[in-house]
Amino acid sequence: MESFFKDGDKNKTQGCKSEDFTQPGSTDTTVQLVISLALGISAFFAFCALRPRWKALYEARKRRVDPVVKLPQLPDTFFGWIPALYRVTEQQLLASAGLDAFVFLAFFKMAIKLFGTMFFFAAVVLEPINLHFIDNDNDGRTSKSYIASVFRIPSSGVVSPWATMEDDSPPDKSFDSDMGYLWSYLVFTYFFSILTMYFMDKETRRVIRVRQDYLGTQMTLTDRTFQLSGIPKDLRTEEKIKELVERLEIGKVESVTLCRNWKDLDDLVDQRSQLLHMLEETWTVYLGQKPAQPILASSSRDRAPEIGVGDEEAGESGPLLTAPGTRQLVERKRPQTRVWYGFLGWQSRVTDALDYYEEKLRRLDEKIHAARKRTYEPADLAFVTMDSIAACQMAIQALIDPRPGQLLTKPAPAPSDVVWRNTYEPRVKRNARGWVITAFVGVLTIVWLIPVAFLASFLSICTIRRFFPGIADSLSRHDVTRALVQTGLPTGVVSLLNVAVPYLYDFLSYYQGRVSRGDVALSSISKVFFFTFFNFFLVFTVFGTASEIFAVVKESFRDLGTIASTMAGKIQNLSVFYLNFIMLQSLGLFPFRLLEFGSVALYPIYRMGAKTPRDYAEMVEPPIFNYALYLPTALLVFILCLVYSVLPGGYLVLLLGLCFFTLGYFTYKYQLLYAMDQPQHATGGAWRIICYRIMLGLFVFQIVMSGVLGLRFAYFEAAAVLPLLIATFWYAYNFRERFEPLTRFISLRSIKRGEDPGGNAIEDEDFGGEGERERERLRRGSTVDEDREKGLRFVNPSLVISLERPWIYEEPPPPEGEDEDGIADYRPGGSNRNGARSSDALGRQQSPADSTASSESLGDTHIWRDNWESNP
């Protein structure tokens, strides 16, 4: 891709190469640092100021955690919350946030230790070697600034793998008078690779010990249940499945939930939810009208719903001459709606909206009651609950049927984690959907090359000069404005794409046919990382721009070393770009994540759209912590730190990487414990994804270093990297055989029985030497999963869900059935003052205290709303 323009400074025609499109200059690092610090410090101080005032937002999760967990209350002082957060132990993290949060933060702790060690050796040993030989190579040839000399950036801002030369051609062998320093590259490639595998191996063993002990000590319904798929048609009854499993002589079956084709029932429940929302909005609009005139009327059944919220509070302030037994009512204009009917819905009439929606809701409830009594066609999937965890694990880890694809077992998701619509789809259809969406993601990744390449080329001085030479000359005259265009905009756009794309891939993963939300989360992480790694690493490094992809691929068929040499050269070209990217992510954006800028910015919009009390209650629910939004970017930064660790100036990348994972650890620790919720239950399965992506980063790091040595004509040193590649491949295979099963299953020795209370796999050092008392507290106390699963059972919520009544007053309504006067009615009927028990979405009984908690949540909304309106 060549474009030519008139260079105003040199007054000659110069080519605008692909490297120029995403390549910043030496001054850009300073500008990016100022921008990042300005964004980060302002957001951090805003968070410190707003945190004690908006607790409904910044402590949304803490207010719903079981008091037994004893999660520390953070001080309301400006900086006092930081040391208090630091002192929160990993036991408290496990007890409050669960195993997935522990595994996620364990990755950040491991990265802090690893890059702290690598930074020391890179700064103390490698950097003096690089500076000495770079200074010798750069005499009279290269740039003026230190950053430029470190990354071989010439004063013109155009970078090539051999920017010390007058052109981009590789040097001859006489370029370096001493090639001995390249042995240090080889030595540190081995050292940093082995160091990474050591830290990963050590942390993996710790994660496995904690996971085995955590899951082995709890007694949840999920731990005793396995998922059985591929059930033949002649076995699709609860009795036959129970008989089949018990004949295996592995234990006694407590219950069997055979999934059935509940699609009609699920559709009716979804329709009811939409209709209930419409009815609540209509009531809210009606009661919010200004009364036309007050009237006196007797209490009647038909007019009861017209009593306003404030009428009951009239009390002593009402008219003294009101006759006993009467209520003071107000005259309001009842809302109307247009109903379409007849042939093809061409006829219509206007009717009372309240009566219409109430009658429609009543008829829909009758259909749901009738649908719950029907018998549905059984599916090929069931959830089997055993009498012990050991029996369940034996069923999971064994082959039950000799025929391929039949009676397959795997760990069951938590009841609240099941995607019930996917349970009754045939296994063949689920697999087909999975392959179709996987293929679509692959095609979508290629399609993403177009906007990514466009942004990479458009946001550059070269492209601007081609179309707007006057603007380009004006920008080029000032380093700051040029840096804003050349560096600030590309890194900002890349960061925005990293935020927006996960939502699309999460949507695709949900419709891929996964049975649990935990599997959906893990699948989404894999997809987003593939997008991030392919589009923002390979495209920028190996291919440069989209137009060069086919040329590089074609050349690689002729010479297998083309990709390695191309990657090695352009990795050095883009060193400052990736340095600025990590700088923006760590110093600039982490404080914004802590601030929950999206929730704060969107609150006025949600506030304007909220009408019903249910809308207000949903506004104060803790935001969902989406691992796919955060983990792929962290993995990309991890790989970038590995790749640049040995190269000149690598200590700067490692330093920023250390800042990234340190700030990320505290940011995500706060959000997981206090601010955000994570309903998915993947039992730490993300650790497998983390480890395999780290191994991918090791492969890339070793290939790049081999290419760098090859470009320096150090062919022996380049070839010496091959044994390290083989060793890394062997380690990956060994990890798959030895460690991966322990990240999926529970070992039988880890299961704690009553007669063996001391047989615990966890050691003191797993929790920083906190001692036996902390471990005993973890064992005796219930885990977050046990608390979450109390009263749950494997049943489709549509079969047992309470048919909620309209919620139009501040307090939630009584459950389905009789109202306060003992008369069955589908109208709102008032608040739940009689203390009746209701049921939640999974059929669990809900006490009046739970209703009070819901009312308190609504109160939180008013507090936050008042704070916002007084301090926007």
Distance CA 559, CA 707 (A): 13
Q: Does 587 lie in the same domain as 479? A: yes
Q: Are residues 662 and 524 in the same domain?
A: yes
Residue labelled with tokens 């300073």: 30
Environment class of residue 493 by beta-carbon count within 10 Å: exposed (0-12), middle (13-18) or buried (19+)? middle
Q: Are residues 441 and 535 in the same domain?
A: yes
Q: What is the pLDDT of residue 347?
A: 83
CB 545 within 8 A of CB 462: no
Q: Rounded to whole angstroms, how far apart are CA atoms 388 and 251?
A: 7
Q: Could you say which DSSP state residue 588 is in? A: I
Residues 6+ apart with CB under 8 A from 838: 802, 812, 814, 815, 832, 845, 846, 850, 851
Tokens 């970038």 locate to 640
Same domain, 434 and 481: yes
Residue 118 is predicted with a pLDDT of 96
- Structural domain total, the chain: 3
Question: What whole-number distance in Å separates Cα of residue 211 and Cα of residue 683?
Answer: 8
Task: Transcribe 132-188 into DSSP letters.
Answer: HHHHHHTTTTS-SSHHHHHTT--TTS---TTTTSSSSSPP-GGG-S--TTHHHHHHH
CA 166/CA 169 separation, integer angstroms? 9
Report the alpha-carbon distance of residue 619 to residue 598 in Å, rounded: 13
Residue 170, both tokens: 């590789």
Q: Which of 152, 158, 125, 127 is nearest to 138 (CA)?
A: 152
What distance in Å separates the CA atoms of residue 852 and residue 864, rounded to the nearest whole number? 18
Amino acid residing at 282: T
Are 406 and 519 part of one and the same domain?
no
pLDDT of residue 479: 67
Domain identity same for 546 and 463: yes
Same structural domain for residues 513 and 549?
yes
CATH number of the CATH domain containing 399: 3.30.70.330
- pLDDT value, residue 631: 93
Residues 393 and 539 in one domain: no
Enumerate residue ranges in the chain where pLDDT < 50. 1-15, 18-22, 24, 136-177, 295-328, 545-547, 557, 755, 757-762, 764, 769-780, 818-825, 828-872
Quick count: other Cβ atoms within 10 Å of Cβ 188? 21
> What is residue 125's predicted lDDT score, i.e. its pLDDT?
92
Q: Is residue 139 part of a domain?
A: no
| Helix, strand, coil fractions of the chain, as percent rounded to 5 | 60, 10, 30
Residues 709 and 721: their CA atoms lie apart, in Å, by 10
Same domain, 609 and 699: yes
Which residue bears the tokens 């060690």? 117
Does residue 622 sit in the same domain as residue 712? yes
The pLDDT score that the predictor gives to residue 447 is 78
pLDDT at site 43: 93
Residues 389 and 498 both lie in one domain: no
DSSP of 684-716, one letter per residue? TTHHHHHHHHHHHHHHHHHHHHHHHHHHTT-HH
Q: Is 315 exposed, middle or buried (0-12, 13-18, 19+ CB in 10 A)?
A: exposed
Amino acid of residue 662: T
Is there a domain that residue 745 lies in?
no
Give the range of the structural domain holding residue 227, as residue numbers without chain letter.
221-262+376-413
H or E element in which residue 228 lies: strand 225-229
Q: How many other CB atoms are found less than 10 A from the CB of residue 95? A: 23
What does the alpha-carbon distance between residue 176 and residue 16 come to, in Å, rounded to a whole number? Answer: 29
From CA 255, how far away is CA 387, in angstroms rounded?
9
Largest CA distance in the chain: 110
Answer whether residue 135 is part of any domain.
Answer: no
Q: Where are the alpha helices (DSSP H) in 448-574?
A: 449-458, 461-467, 469-476, 479-483, 489-510, 517-533, 549-558, 562-573
- 524 with 453, same domain? yes
Residue 446 resides in a domain = yes
Phi, psi of 476 (to 5 degrees): -70, -25
Read off the DSSP letter of residue 832: -
Question: What CA dihedral angle connects 709, 699, 658 and 204, to 10 degrees?
Answer: -140
What pLDDT is stored for residue 643 in this prediction? 92
Q: Where does a domain end: 671, 701, 716?
A: 716
Do the Cβ atoms of 492 and 584 come closer than 8 Å?
Answer: yes
- Among 716, 747, 762, give the residue marking a domain's end: 716
Phi, psi of 151 (to 5 degrees): -100, 15
Q: Has residue 285 been placed in a domain? A: no
Single out the residue in 646, 681, 716 at which a domain terminates.
Answer: 716
Q: Is residue 627 part of a domain?
A: yes
Confirm whether 212 is domain-assigned.
no
What are the C-alpha distances in Å from 302 to residues 306, 307, 355, 367, 461?
9, 11, 10, 25, 72
Sign of CA dihedral 702, 704, 705, 710: positive
pLDDT in tens, 70-113: 778 889 899 999 999 999 988 888 888 889 999 999 999 999 99
CA–CA separation, 475 and 489 (whole Å):
14
List, in order, residues 6 or more apart from 253 with CB less than 8 Å away.
Answer: 242, 245, 246, 384, 385, 386, 387
